Amino acid sequence: MTRAPAAPDGDTTRPLAAVSSPRVLARLTGLLGLRPGQLALPVGLGTVAVVAGAALAGLAGYLICRAAQQPPILSLTVLMVGVRLAALTRPVARYGERLAAHDLAFRALGRLRAAVFARIEPLAPAGLEAYRDGDLLSGMVADIDQLQDVALRLLVPLGVAVAAGTVVVAAVAGISPDAGLVLGAGLLAAAVAPPLLAARLVARSQRRQAALRARLTANLVDTFGAAEELWLNGADDRAAAVLAADDRALVEVALRDARAAGAADALGVAISGLTAVGVLMASTAAAGRGALDPLLVAPLTLVALGVFEAVLPLSAAARHLPLILSAGRRVLDLAGREPEVADPGEPAAVPPRFEIALHQVAVARGPRRTRVLDGLDLRLEEGASMVVTGPSGAGKTTLALLLARFLERQAGEARLGPRDLRDYRQDDVRAAVLLSAQDPHVFDTTIRENLTFARPGATDAELGAALAQARLGDWVASLPAGLDTRVGERGRALSGGQRQRLALARVFLADPAVLVLDEPTAHLDVETAGALLDDLWRVAGRRSVLLVTHGSPGPFERCPRVVLQRPGPAPADFIPSG
Amino acid sequence: MTQGPAGAEHPGSGQRLRPFDRRLLGRVAVARWALAVNLAAGLTGALLLLAQMTLLAGIVADAAQGRLRQVPAALALALAAVIMARAGLAYVVELSGRRTAARVMSALRAELVKRRLSGGGAAGLETSDSAELATSAVQGVDGLETYFARYLPQVVLACTVPVAVLLWSAVVDLRSAVVMVVTLPVIPVFLALIGRSAGARSRANWQALAGLSSYFLDVVRGLPTLRAFNRGTAQIPHIREVTDRYRRTTLATLRLSFLSGVVLDLATTLSTALVAVTLGVRLVGGTIGLRPALTVLLLVPELYAPVRRVGSLFHASADGLAATERILATLERDPPTAGPVAGGVAVRDRGTASPDPAAVPVRVRSVTVRFPGRPGRALDRVDLDLQPGQLVAVVGASGAGKTTLGRVVLGLTRPDEGVVLAGGRPLADIGLDNWRGQVAWAPQHPTLVPGTVADNIALGRPDAGAEAVAGAARRAAADRFIERLPEGYDTLVGPGGRGLSAGQRQRLGLARALLRGARLLVLDEPTVHLDEAAAGQVAASIEALRGSATVLLLTHDRDLAARADRRVLLDRGRTAGPAGRADGPGAKVPGVPAVAERVR
């Protein structure tokens, strides 16, 4: 089994790989809506916590050394108060920092989800067709969730490290320039070297890990979804072997990552420990020269031991950076795609009449731009009905997508009312021309919520009427929870016919002027299908209906019929998914 | 130690989140090895810490009293050696922890895949949300890394370091050690606090995240439908709202669970302050020397710091364990293999071959199927007889239970009551792994596997040659559209078959079933998406099977049903009478004109 590549080979897929990391981060920060002002609170609190910790260690050390000289106990009071104050400040500031940082991360995540959704919304359905389910999952959810770390694991720790490091080093340098120099150098080394090492060693393999993970997730989803058929066909062992190979590849990369992580960790421990020794040596030497009060050797050493907690999170951040960047690139890539259909600069007013006229229309689809419709003429008067038939692959669905402005035509004329389809806003076209697709999506929620989006604010009576029209009324009434029955993932709890009828009930609720129905009876038995077409015919009276079907059109038999033919030798509505 | 100090109740599931998950350790041998490495590292780490602090305190005390002009080279080297040893230890712990996490997760995935693919009742409709499970099985390794590389070592340190610190402090200065012991009971109390709040937080967090992920995927999948109704952008505020709800609930739990962190932070800083002040007073009184005082001061923070770090890591690792928990729960819920069904007979071992359903009758006897959460019965005491080589059509309104009946015959859905007999032997006795070799299924919405068109047709017969594949495609009326594809039979098709229309997908599924050469075929609405010519071709191919294979047709296609030897009406989960009595020439089957019985 050969695997199809994860991303579609469209024409706009690759540009972001070349974009530099800082620019990716800048764009992500924009999508996340992170501004410096929002970072000030968690960074400020984090700095206070680190400084208080250092102060506690330094003051306690000084207190003890001073006490060893046995001064009057009252002279130590100020020191004792300082020690207690620092001890109280630190936990409180730390608590505030963590809450503020998490709040910030979650807020940013909400903005990001909404922003990404807003960008991909105009891409559907044509622009997202080639995305595999599993990839959409990892692309949309794992990648986006990963990006909440931009604030939590990247920006806040970085801010705290810089601010707290500067304050503490300045204070130490003020007491002993030598010790300050050693501590500053050590802190800088610890802030740069282990994170760089981790990032450099991990960058390549982790970029691979993210891709491997996405692929493994997608393959797992596919395999779980096809489990029954794979098992029944005796293909389960082969599928398991494919997965096992993917799994091995991922584990191998993970094992290599482990070494990098271990080395970076060890380097951090070594630098912080040796710096404390260095500070001890520098301050001892300064005291020996008489340049420093010997009592201050202990506090300086203790401060040096404690302050490294400020730079510790930077290694984890650096290890995360490649993951964040590659997830961010994928998200930005998806968000940056150009929609297939664009609104005109100066849209015409809402169509006043709804007759449709196509003249010599040609549509090409897919990366190969295969002709699916060619030289099509069609006229649908307002209030009239029409049947479109033709062999599978003749472009029936393409015609339906074209009429609802989900596809752009390459040649010919297409008018809705007095003007070209392209002159209207897409929303205005779709408010008039409703496409009920061959495979309408049923949302994993209640029957009610699956209906109300077609007419927000619809009353139960209106919902009931629409369900009755779709011949679902009795069934819904028989359910214990009625309209509030949940239909399961992709309407799993419904039969194929019930799903189709639920979709039709939505159509009745939306009440469009032109109704384009793509194979509405495909999953219905003859009786129900006939009854449904009868109902459609009755409802059609005052609106135009374009019925795409390969079966019996029922009462629509008497309407004009357009028979589509496959254009030329090229494949019809085939879009390679790989 | 196995119960661990940080156990937290899981009120919802009745399960506990433990620092050492016995199920995890019991299932995967690598995990036990990691524990051993950690114990060794924990002990060594504690000793190295004591050495470092004692050396430091000695030098600092001498320096403070003006006895040193330089740090002696020997002492500096000794310190550096201790520090390098600690660095090496950090390397080993991180390395072994991460490796363990990767291997453990891989082992769990392998087992999960094995279970899911073992078919039968195990892989049935219960698959609640495969996407969610797959995400847990892959992304869960992050949490598991934190667990094995950070959390577990820290738990060991939290046990070894305080003991070492106390013992050494007692040697250096008994009074300070007593002060520490007095504050010590604080630790288990705090650990319980951490566990409780972290468990609750993690559970809420994971559920919110998983729910959010399902919700988000659902909305994206439904985008084409939403857009048709101009409701795509209307989802944006809803997404905001759902995410914001997640933020608020998570922050509410965080506010509480971070509190335990505050308490431990306070314990660390206040005990340092307390000991420092007490030591100060004693130093002024001259009852203790500077060197022991400094040693104790350097050690005090280490009494609580490891415990504190356990707390902060618990949150992270509990998330990872929650993902593992999901997988473990799934593994424990599903029966181990498909073979033993009712009665638990391990048929694989017996090596019994399945009877040939084209030679012996297959009987469905009084089968009842209920679906959890749905009223009534999908099938209600259904009887059905499939005589060898016959073409039997089950007709009925959509939702009548035709598909479920087909699944029961295939062994994919286990009946709640009743039995399927092949040649008088129940399927459970034959063993589903044997039974599947005899049957083929063309479902209404076949799943395309990644690969070429030919791969897909030959799914059940990977050894089939190009000619056989093309022949099956012809019989399924799929040949013409396949030949029009850019690369014909070598065209790649993806899962879900997005590039193919529903009718094309279905014909591939039919070709797949025909090529399998099975003795019993279950064909679910094989003509539903087809135009008249193609439907005729398919019907002829199905008729050609008569005699060589038994065919169960689930259809509402009048013309197709008319070609069957027998028709059985299924109405809201019931057959109109005992097996086959409602069919035959005189039977009144709505939608199906009575035709002459054609029994061979």
Percentage of chain A beyond pLDDT 90 is 36
Chain A to chain B, count of Cβ pairs less than 8 Å apart?
554
Q: Which residues between 98 and 127 in chain B have a beta carbon less than 8 angstroms from any beta carbon of chain A? A: 98-99, 101-103, 106, 109-110, 113-114, 116-120, 123-125, 127
C-alpha span between B369 and B417 (Å, rounded): 7
Give the model confidence (pLDDT) of A534-552 as tens digits. Answer: 877 877 767 899 999 877 8
Percentage of chain B beyond pLDDT 90 is 25
pLDDT for the residue numbered B280: 93
pLDDT interval class at B588 (50, 70, 90) = very low
- List, as one string, the DSSP characters of A293-339: -GGGHHHHHHHHHHGGGGTHHHHHHHHHHHHHHHHHHHHHHHHTPPP
pLDDT at A43 over 60: yes
Mark yes or no for CB contact B91/A265 under 8 Å: yes
CA–CA min distance A267, chain B (Å): 7
pLDDT for the residue numbered B447: 83
Please list every residue in chain B whose beta carbon sits closer than 8 Å to the beta carbon of residue A83. 273, 276-277
pLDDT for the residue numbered B340: 34
pLDDT for the residue numbered B598: 30
Test mutation, B312, B326, B459, chain A, max A CBs within 10 A: B459
pLDDT at A331 over 90: no
pLDDT at A17 over 70: no
pLDDT at B522 over 90: yes
A576 CB near a chain B CB, below 8 Å? yes
pLDDT for the residue numbered B190: 66
- Higher per-residue confidence, A35 vs A550: A35
pLDDT for the residue numbered A490: 74
Q: For chain B, what percentages of helix, strand and coil (3-state, to nearest 5) are there?
A: 60, 10, 30
pLDDT interval class at B400 (50, 70, 90) = confident
Give the model confidence (pLDDT) of B508-521 as tens digits. Answer: 999 999 999 889 99
Mark yes or no for CB contact A117/B528 under 8 Å: no
Give, in order, the Cα–Cα distances in Å from A519 to each of A538, A576, B8, B26, B529: 18, 22, 54, 54, 9
Mark yes or no for CB contact A217/B272 under 8 Å: no
pTM, two decimals, is: 0.69
B73 CB near a chain A CB, below 8 Å? no
pLDDT interval class at B581 (50, 70, 90) = very low
Give the model confidence (pLDDT) of A202-246 as tens digits. Answer: 676 666 777 888 888 888 888 887 888 888 888 888 888 888 998
CA–CA min distance B83, chain A (Å): 6
Give the model confidence (pLDDT) of B283-302 as tens digits. Answer: 999 999 999 999 999 999 88
pLDDT interval class at B12 (50, 70, 90) = very low
Mark yes or no for CB contact B557/A506 under 8 Å: no
Mark yes or no for CB contact A576/B486 under 8 Å: yes
Give, in order, the Cα–Cα distances in Å from B523 to each of A233, B382, B398, B475, B496: 14, 19, 15, 14, 19
Test mutation, A73, A98, A141, A149, chain B, max B CBs within 10 A: A141
C-alpha span between A501 and A522 (Å, rounded): 11
B259 CB near a chain A CB, below 8 Å? yes
pLDDT at A292 over 80: yes
pLDDT for the residue numbered B40: 92
Q: For chain A, what percentages of helix, strand and coil (3-state, to nearest 5) are there?
A: 65, 10, 25
CA–CA min distance B261, chain A (Å): 8
H/E element, A20: none
**A442: nearest CA partner in chain B:** B222
Query: Out of B61, B251, B269, whose CB is closest to A90?
Result: B269
Residue range B231-254: average pLDDT?
84
Displacement of CA B441 from its chain's centroid (Å) = 27
B72 CB near a chain A CB, below 8 Å? no
pLDDT interval class at A578 (50, 70, 90) = very low
Give the model confidence (pLDDT) of A315-327 as tens digits. Answer: 878 878 877 888 8
pLDDT for the residue numbered A215: 84
**What residue ranges in B406-491 does DSSP mark as E strands?**
417-422, 425-426, 439-442, 451-452
A450 CB near a chain B CB, below 8 Å? no
Test mutation, A95, A275, A392, A453, chain B, max B CBs within 10 A: A392
Look at A260-274, B63-77, B346-360 and tell me which has the smallest mean pLDDT. B346-360
Residue A36 burial by Cβ neighbours in a 10 Å radius (0-12, 13-18, 19+): exposed
pLDDT at A450 over 60: yes
Query: Out of B262, B455, B498, whose CB is closest to A95?
Result: B262
Which superfamily does CATH assign the domain made up of B8-333 to?
Answer: ABC transporter type 1, transmembrane domain (1.20.1560.10)
Out of A37-46, A100-109, A149-158, B441-450, give the one with best mean pLDDT.
A37-46
CA-based max dimension of chain A: 112
Give the model confidence (pLDDT) of A142-155 as tens digits. Answer: 787 778 888 888 99
Give the model confidence (pLDDT) of A557-574 as tens digits. Answer: 888 888 888 765 444 443
**What residue ranges in A366-513 does DSSP mark as E strands?**
370-380, 385-389, 411-416, 419-420, 433-436
Q: Which residues between 9 and 48 in chain B have a beta carbon less than 8 angstroms from any beta carbon of chain A? A: none
CA–CA min distance A220, chain B (Å): 6
Please report how many Cα atoms fall inside a 13 Å half-sphere around the Cα of residue B382, on the Cβ side.
Answer: 31
Q: Does residue B386 sit in helix, strand or coil?
A: strand
B540 CB near a chain A CB, below 8 Å? no
Mark yes or no for CB contact B486/A261 under 8 Å: no
Taking the CB of residue A18, how many other CB atoms lie within 10 A of it? Answer: 6
Bridge partner list, A362:
A411
Q: Which of B481, B478, B485 is nearest to B458 (CA)?
A: B478
C-alpha span between A213 and A247 (Å, rounded): 9
Mark yes or no for CB contact B450/A4 under 8 Å: yes
With both helix axes pointing from N to C terminus, report the angle between A36-68 and A156-175 in degrees, rounded to the nearest 10. Answer: 30
A285 CB near a chain B CB, below 8 Å? yes
C-alpha span between B316 and B311 (Å, rounded): 9
**B300: nearest CA partner in chain A:** A57
Query: Out of B70, B139, B395, whose CB is closest to A284?
Result: B70
Q: Which of B517, B530, B525, B513 is nearest to B477 (CA)?
A: B530
Please report how many Cα atoms fall inside a 13 Å half-sphere around the Cα of residue B202, on the Cβ side.
Answer: 30
Q: Which of A79, A48, A69, A279 is nearest to A176 (CA)?
A: A279
Please list every residue in chain A whose beta carbon sits closer than 8 Å to the beta carbon of residue B220. 117, 120, 128, 136, 140
pLDDT for the residue numbered B223: 83
Q: Name residue, tokens 């009494």.
A: B303
What are the sequence ranges of the domains in chain B?
Answer: 8-333, 361-448+515-575
Token couple for B165: 């610190």
Give the model confidence (pLDDT) of B116-155 as tens digits. Answer: 787 544 444 344 467 777 878 887 777 788 788 888 888 8
CA–CA min distance A426, chain B (Å): 9
Bridge partner list, B502:
none
Test mutation, B53, B227, B514, chain A, max A CBs within 10 A: B227
B543 CB near a chain A CB, below 8 Å? no
pLDDT for the residue numbered B168: 95
Give the model confidence (pLDDT) of B61-72 as tens digits. Answer: 999 998 888 999
Token couple for B374: 């749905």
Residues near A327 by beta carbon (within 8 Å), at least 6 away in sequence: A142, A143, A144, A146, A147, A210
pLDDT at A8 over 70: no
Give the model confidence (pLDDT) of B14-44 as tens digits. Answer: 334 455 566 776 677 777 787 888 889 999 9
Token couple for A259: 């070494």
pLDDT for the residue numbered B6: 31
pLDDT interval class at A97 (50, 70, 90) = very high
Give the model confidence (pLDDT) of A101-117 as tens digits. Answer: 989 988 888 888 888 88
Mark yes or no for CB contact A440/B225 under 8 Å: yes
Mark yes or no for CB contact A404/B213 under 8 Å: no
Please list every residue in chain B whose beta carbon sits closer than 8 Å to the beta carbon of residue A402. none
pLDDT for the residue numbered A130: 56
pLDDT for the residue numbered A9: 35
Please list every residue in chain B whose beta carbon sits closer than 8 Å to the beta carbon of residue A194. none
Q: Which residues between 476 and 515 in chain A have a beta carbon less than 8 angstroms from any beta carbon of chain B? A: 478-480, 486, 489-490, 492-498, 503, 506, 510
Residue range B376-397: average pLDDT?
88
- List, as one string, the DSSP characters of B145-200: HIIIIIIHHHHHHHHHHHHHHHHHHHHH-HHHHHHHHHHTTHHHHHHHHHHHHHHH
pLDDT at A287 over 80: yes
C-alpha span between B499 and B490 (Å, rounded): 14
Give the model confidence (pLDDT) of B144-192 as tens digits. Answer: 887 888 888 888 888 899 999 999 999 999 988 888 887 777 667 766 7
Look at A327-331, B2-6, B30-34, B501-505 and tell me which has the smallest mean pLDDT. B2-6
pLDDT at A16 over 70: no
pLDDT for the residue numbered A179: 96
Which superfamily does CATH assign the domain made up of B361-448+515-575 to?
Answer: P-loop containing nucleotide triphosphate hydrolases (3.40.50.300)
pLDDT at A452 over 70: yes
pLDDT interval class at B504 (50, 70, 90) = confident
Please list every residue in chain B whose beta carbon sits closer than 8 Å to the beta carbon of residue A492. 125
pLDDT interval class at B580 (50, 70, 90) = very low
Q: Which residues between 318 and 377 in chain B have a beta carbon less than 8 angstroms from any beta carbon of chain A? A: 338, 371, 373-375
Residues near B322 by beta carbon (within 8 Å), at least 6 away in sequence: B17, B143, B202, B203, B205, B206
Q: Does residue A218 sit in helix, strand or coil?
A: helix
pLDDT interval class at B338 (50, 70, 90) = very low
- Long-range contacts formed by A234-238: CB under 8 A, 24+ apart: A234/B436, A234/B437, A234/B460, A235/B449, A235/B459, A235/B460, A235/B462, A236/B117, A236/B118, A236/B119, A238/A1, A238/B462
Q: What domains lie within chain A, and their CATH numbers? A: 20-335 (1.20.1560.10), 356-563 (3.40.50.300)
**B125: nearest CA partner in chain A:** A492
